[in-house]
Amino acid sequence: MKNFDIHRPDEAIRSSIIDKIDNLTKPKGSLGRLEELALQIGMIQQTLSPELRKPCNILFAADHGIEREGVTVSPREVTWQQLGHFARGGAGINFLCDQHGFRLVLVDAGVDYDIPSGHGIIDLKMGRGTGNFLHEPAMSLEEWEECIIRGAGVVDMVHADGCNVVSFGEMGSGNTSPSSMWMHLLTGISLRDCVGAGAGLDNPGVSHKLDVLQRSLDNYTGSDSLEEKLAWFGGYELAMAVGAMLRAAELKMIVIVDGFIMTACMAAAARFCPEVLDYAVFGHQGDESGHKLMLAAIGAKPLLLLGLRLGEGSGAVCAYPILQSAVNMINQMDSFAKVAVTKYF
């Protein structure tokens, strides 16, 4: 797998950032998570005056062989139909990106449809959907490695355009199934607690999904290699997101993590490079049943709790104004030393 040279932010500046935050005209700690975020962003950027530039939401789309086993209420064609919808505008992620000034970057990672050119969708198609991991690997190790490289390349593109804060979204019917498998493999949490309703399964549907995933796990004949397991039970869009997250951290960008599926991708990225978590801001705790458990397992503190389960990067983009408030706080608030206010803590 491609190596990423990710380092924890240099600690030398930490005390100076804390001193600046603590001496703004407010009681110490009174702006809570905004102060924590200002510190994190200042550490990432190694400055007392951080800034957020040209935010992007990169959405990877792909289909999944396991969808053929009835693990989702969304038929396969919804993937390419929604990807086209995103390109035309009018979907959930479109209004959020428009509202918060995000560039939406759409990537065909492996959709089971020949999408015509000229719609602004980047063609990085690895195939027309993965293999059905109930019976065979979803992808080969070679495909996994290529997905990592391709995902990283998309981040290179937006970074070259001046972006320093990025979120990731996904579209793919059935993709909570590979995400549940990854959650189980990465955290050791029982598979039962990793499996939820996805796009809207009822209780019998969730039971069927769990049965399919458990049989898939029982049928695994690969090695103990984490890479092989993630490839076997993965998805093209998930693997590209892992590569994208790792590259963004290598470039010292802020990574806003979306819901259940993207948290599984960040958990995978952190197994290869734990330092990636220093660059991650977890946008929200979604409504998929396993998300809260997975966030806790990797020590993540989400910003929002809105009952979201749309995906597409929607929760991450919703959280962006909180990051902007943190940056505005450290840059725009006066210090006690600057104005005639007695320090009152």
Known active-site residue 136: no
HEC-encoded secondary structure of the chain: CCCCCCCCCCHHHHHHHHHHHHCECCCCCCCHHHHHHHHHHHHHHCCCCCCCCCCEEEEEEECCHHHHHCCCCCCCHHHHHHHHHHHHCCCHHHHHHHHHCCEEEEEEEECCCCCCCCCCEEECCCCCCCCCCCCCCCCCHHHHHHHHHHHHHHHHHHHHCCCCEEEEEEECCCCHHHHHHHHHHHHCCCHHHHCCCCCCCCHHHHHHHHHHHHHHHHCCCCCCCHHHHHHHCCCHHHHHHHHHHHHHHHCCCEEEECCHHHHHHHHHHHHHCHHHHHHEEECECCCCCCHHHHHHHCCCCCCECCCCCCCCCHHHHHHHHHHHHHHHHHHHCCECCCCCCCCCC
Tell me the CA distances in angstroms from 319 to 51, 61, 308, 322, one per residue in order: 16, 22, 12, 6
CB 20 within 8 A of CB 47: no
Distance CA 61, CA 221 (A): 28
State the CB neighbour count (10 A cutoff) for residue 11. 8
| Amino acid making up residue 128 | R
List the catalytic residues: 312
